[in-house]
Structure 1
Amino acid sequence: MTKMPARQQGMGMSGILFVLVVVIFVVTVLFKLGPSYMSYMTMKSIMNGVAESPEPILGGKQAIMRVLENRMMVNDVRAVGVNAFSFKKAGEDAFDVTLKYEQREHLFFNVDAVLTFNHTVVVKGR
């Protein structure tokens, strides 16, 4: 004769429900915030590419902004506007180009997430 265990082993219905709610919450947050982070990573890549170009960009701030806008258009970045960029002279032939912006994403009900992004590169230009 086999002996029956004294207690049930394993996860009960309430445990399964709790895990399911946590998984759904995490997936919802990832789907809502993921595109914003992907746009920021694309912008970082664009800015780093402009900063690493071997040729200096002639024309100052306007020329650098034109190059950034062209690359943003090619990469279909719409979350960032031109007013998110600031330029500061960094020596005789260089500019500090800073991208700083906030993005608000609605998660659910009356809960929003505010994402703050900031990235600075040094671009050779005159």
Structure 2
Amino acid sequence: MYKQEKGASFFSMLIVLMMAGTLLATAFKIYQPYLNHLTIKSVIENVTQDYDELRKPIPTIRADINKRLYINQVNLPTQDALVIVNDKGLLKFNLKYEVRLPMFFNVDAVIKFSEYYEAVVP
């Protein structure tokens, strides 16, 4: 009597490796937009906590944000991705945009980011 061998076959291991490779490739492609968003988020949070910056007019604040993003080698996807409004001494920063990444053949991944910040003008 022969004992039946147990274990993973070649094809099951091949399927597992293909799935792992696909997940790893996807993770590498979406890593950069998330890293860029963390940088953008950090810049805006720093601006909302800088009282000297909050005293400036909105176009100057926007220009300073763009300068900080340029230093960090990050750009907003569109100009209307960040909306800054002064509502009776309360600056409202609305960051909302999406990034579309080509994944495989005709499949794209869309990553949406939406952040909201408030700061009191000193």
Report the TM-score when normalising by structure 2. Answer: 0.88
Q: Determine the structure 1 residue equivalent to 2:33.
A: 36
Hey, what's the Cα distance between the residues in 2 that align with 1:83 and 1:54? Answer: 24
Q: 1:56: how far off? A: 4.7
Aligned residues: 122
Q: Secondary structure at the match of 1:77?
A: coil
Q: Secondary structure at the match of 2:68?
A: helix
Q: Determine the structure 1 residue equivalent to 2:94.
A: 98
Q: 1:81: how far off? A: 3.2
Shift in CA distance, 44/121, structure 1 to aligned 2, threshold 3 Å: same
Q: Work out which of the residue numbers 12, 20, 23 in structure 2 matches 1:23.
A: 20
Matches within 5 A, 1:15-94: 15-90=12-87, 92-94=88-90
Higher Cα Rg: structure 1 or 2?
A: 1
Report the TM-score when normalising by structure 1. Answer: 0.85
Decide which structure has greater helix share. 2
Q: 1:57: how far off? A: 2.4
Structure 1, unpaired ranges of 5+: none
Shift in CA distance, 71/101, structure 1 to aligned 2, threshold 3 Å: same
Q: Secondary structure at the match of 2:4?
A: coil
Could you say which structure has the greater relative contact order, defined with CA pairs below 8 angstroms and 6 or more residues apart? 1
Q: 1:49: how far off? A: 0.8
- Identity of paired residues, percent? 24
Query: 1:103·1:116 contact (CA, 8 Å) conserved in 2?
Result: yes
Q: Determine the structure 2 residue equivalent to 1:121.
A: 117
Shift in CA distance, 100/45, structure 1 to aligned 2, threshold 3 Å: same
Aligned residues: CA RMSD: 1.9
